A and B are shown apart, each in its own frame.
Chain A
């Protein structure tokens, strides 16, 4: 393979999510609810120009909304989102971690009332510090292993 050849073709229209924490690309697809009927490229543990490794997602014919972008930040706060139209980047931004997350996650505390058969929606709030930790509104515990707590 020639040195400068791209591993994955550029896309004409859609979204490129770059600088995803290594190994988290599938969690992002999960949190976005994107299933296998889309055309997409997934790079796992790709070398980053900034050093280290990263994942990259190229999803064709999908433009992420602000809400969807914040879901990406839930899993990978440093990810950048590029909206591609006509093969060019028309918008590039860093997703902002949501202050409140409803319904997407389940509480990691098995004894939390939100894990019982009650007519409520799970809710988590971003902690006040910089630790990117989410606290259950019901049981007040930190969610542990957040990526594993995503509902399908």
Chain B
């Protein structure tokens, strides 16, 4: 039984295998062709936290493969409000479904779930911890847009301290041999353990506080949301957020072929004028969640 808990559990070969399978799923994900690979199978999507893209793309993935979906989003109408443990919820739900997709506000929740589940667990984000399917869809987007996963310069921009997607992505990209620039406001820098790992592998490029410093040498600009609640002073937030805004002016100084990615939701990090530019790939990125999650579901449920 294969669980999907952390991208650290995937070797380079396994990552490439998932991306290859996802490529085969694109036509089905777009509805250009149909599949009944998982017909008669049931996926439980249990989301203890809000989610738009992750939940909907898992549900779409399962439906596109001919399977059914049960689950909940938010705990108000569930036994959790009566004090049920996650362990008991998992024991019960795993009896109803062939795999469980779990999002939970506590770090390590997905790992716990594997101990009480009789079916595969797929981690859809646990607190500030892991979000492996996001990392895999980011890698799929990079390979689709750039034609390769190695020899690229990726600038991670924004809140690198609390943004869970950038931690996993940085480590995953370092497995393939890339230069990774870290651009964040003071106080929101990448955690030391990630920076140390990048340095040890010789993959760390520049670590700085301004996108201007790296834009001319960037193949992929990966923007993340800077959360207002991290700043006690709203004026300071506006000042910092303004410095990290991706707009046509900034992109005009980037090399040809540069792409912009973002895990979404965005607030003000990318101005709407960028949406129509050829560099903007974040909506394709959101779509790519479907074929990548189809690939994973076919592997963990279908045994393919």
Contact = CB atoms under 8 A, between A and B. Distances in A.
Nearest to B8: A140
A117 B82 CA distance: 13
Interface in A128-142: 136-142
Interface stretch (B103-111, B173-181, B241-249): B103-111
A113 B115 contact: no
B85 A112 contact: no
**Chain A interface extent, by class:** 10 to 19
A118 B107 contact: no
Contacts of B8: 140
Contacts of B6: 140
Given A136-B108, A139-B108, A111 B85 contact: no
A2 interface: no
Contacts of A141: 107
A133 to B, nearest CB: 10
B127 interface: yes
A116 B111 contact: no
A120 B109 CA distance: 11
B21 to A, nearest CB: 26
Nearest to B129: A139
B86 A113 contact: yes
Contact of B87 (A120, A136, A137, A138): A120
Contacts of B115: 120
Contacts of B130: 140
Interface residues of B, number: 20
Interface in B104-134: 104-109, 111-112, 115, 126-130
Contact of A118 (B87, B127, B193): B87
Contact of B108 (A112, A117, A119, A142): A112
Contact of B106 (A111, A119, A142): A111
A45 interface: no
Q: Determine the main DSSP class of B at the interface with A.
A: mixed
A112 B107 contact: yes
Given A139-B107, A141-B107, A118 B128 contact: no
Contact of B85 (A118, A138, A142): A118
B259 to A, nearest CB: 30
B85 A113 contact: no
Contact of B107 (A117, A120, A138, A142): A138
A109 interface: yes
Interface string A97-129: 000000000000101111011111000000000
Given A111-B127, A111-B128, A139-B129, A116 B106 contact: yes
B85 A117 contact: yes
B128 A138 contact: no
B104 to A, nearest CB: 8
B112 A120 contact: yes
Q: Give the top 9 A-B pairs by smallest Cβ distance, nearest first.
A: A138-B108, A139-B107, A139-B108, A113-B108, A113-B106, A113-B109, A113-B112, A138-B111, A112-B108
Interface of A: 109, 111-114, 116-120, 136-142
Given A111-B107, A116-B85, A120-B112, 4 more contacts: A119-B85, A136-B108, A139-B127, A140-B8
Interface of B: 6, 8, 85-87, 104-109, 111-112, 115, 126-130, 193
